[in-house]
Amino acid sequence: MNLRDLDLNLLVVLRQLLEDRHVSRAAEQLGMSQPAVSRALRRLRALFDDPLLVRTPSGYVPSARAERLLPRLRQLLAETERLVAGPDFDPATSTQTVRFHGPEPEVGWFLPPLFARMSRLAPGMVLEVQSEPREHFGQLERGEVHFVLSAFTPAAGAGELHRIPLAPLTFALVMRADHPLAAGELTVERYVAARHGLVSLTSRGGGLLGQELVEQGLLAPGERLNEPLRLSSFSAIAAFCEHSDVVFRLPRRFAETLTRGSALVVREAPTTTTLDRPQIHLYWHERFHRDPMCLWVRQQLKAAHGLAADAGG
């Protein structure tokens, strides 16, 4: 038969009839009239080419075929109900993997508290984190990661993305302790003239600092900062700073952690080199917006950082 011609409601009626073995009781359980159930039974008999329920002096009894059908019918309808209801998610028993992408500073700030909660509430789950430089919003669109931590704004495809604000991103400067800029007044002119280190989060193009300085008229259009060092990772910053005169502008929390116990110092960036503070956001794609596992992870991340439970979904 053609499944397009099958009325699923008939199977619901059949299950009730075979369980109750009584038309009136089945009608009552289904919230239908007795004539409607009787008509459904006639259609079912034609569909299966079988009487299904056979009248006897003591009432209806299922036919031999109906006896075989009932357990499979129960299983089929239970699976159908689960299909429509959506996937179940129990953090206590889940072994799913949740995938994040984000720069090392943001990862080190936001994800360890999340992992601590996951370890306690979902010990079988895996947190997979990627920090290598790449165009991370494309990963969301391709479904390669569930979440992205970023202070950037997607250039395209934003209509399919959701986000919640996590925290403002503030900056500080990192340099060796005997660097010329480590003492004295740190003017914009001295800072612009310094040798700068850059970590490229997308592995292409220049840094945000140069763009900000051009927008504020502190650099001429087309003029570039002196950037003799470009890295694709944050891990080697301390070593380069200790052995050279480069200066890095880094997220403040990361800068303070990086310099702890080292020969490096942290200084305030000249205020005029920073535009409106960017906001770190958690991004995810529409395809995962209603996924129970992803919804739970978002809730745990908010709880780990004291964010309002209804902030952004």
Q: What is the per-residue pLDDT for 303? A: 95
49 torsion bin: left (phi>0), alpha (psi -120 to 50), beta (else): left
| Residue 146: other Cβ atoms inside 10 A | 23
What does the alpha-carbon distance between residue 291 and residue 212 come to, in Å, rounded to a whole number?
38
299 and 157 share a domain? yes
CATH number of the domain encompassing residue 230: 3.40.190.10
Q: Residue 310 domain-assigned?
A: no
The whole-number pLDDT of residue 88 equals 77
Give residue 80's pLDDT: 83
Q: How far apart are CA 282 and CA 45, in angstroms?
A: 56
**Rounded Cα–Cα distance for residues 171 and 78 (Å):** 55
Domain, as residue range, for 190? 171-273
Cβ(241)–Cβ(175) below 8 Å: yes
Whether residues 188 and 164 share a domain: the answer is: no
Residue 165 shares a structural domain with residue 292: yes
The one-character DSSP state at 277 is P
Tell me: do 117 and 185 sit in the same domain: no
Q: For position 74, which CATH number holds?
A: 1.10.10.10
Positions of the chain with pLDDT lower than 70, given as ranges: 1-4, 85-86, 156-157, 201-208, 271-277, 308-313
**Which of 23, 55, 84 is a domain's end point?**
84
Asked whether residue 268 is domain-assigned, the answer is yes
Is residue 309 in some structural domain? Answer: no
In a domain, 90, yes or no: no
Residue 288 and residue 154 share a domain: yes
User: What distance in Å separates the CA atoms of residue 270 and residue 185, rounded to the nearest whole number?
Assistant: 10
Q: Does 298 fall in a domain?
A: yes
Please state the domain count of the chain. 3
The answer on 178 and 246 residing in a single domain is yes
Give yes or no: residues 199 and 217 share one domain. Answer: yes
Last residue in a domain, options 56, 84, 112: 84
| Same-domain pairing of 261 and 136 | no
**Are 36 and 71 in the same domain?**
yes
Whether residues 17 and 32 fall in one domain: yes
Chosen domain end from 37, 62, 84: 84
Strands of 73-157 (E only): list them.
97-101, 126-130, 147-150
Q: How much is the pLDDT for 202?
A: 59
Mark whether 57 and 193 lie in a shared domain: no
With respect to residue 91, please indicate whether it lies within any of the assigned structural domains. no
Tokens 């129960």 label which residue?
Answer: 74
Q: Is residue 226 part of a domain?
A: yes
- Say which residue the tokens 């031999």 belong to: 64
What is the pLDDT, as a whole number, of residue 49? 92
Claim to verify: residue 202 and residue 155 sit in the same structural domain: no
pLDDT for the residue 272: 62
Q: Measured at the alpha carbon of residue 279, what is the angle toward residues 113 and 224, in degrees to the nearest 5?
A: 120
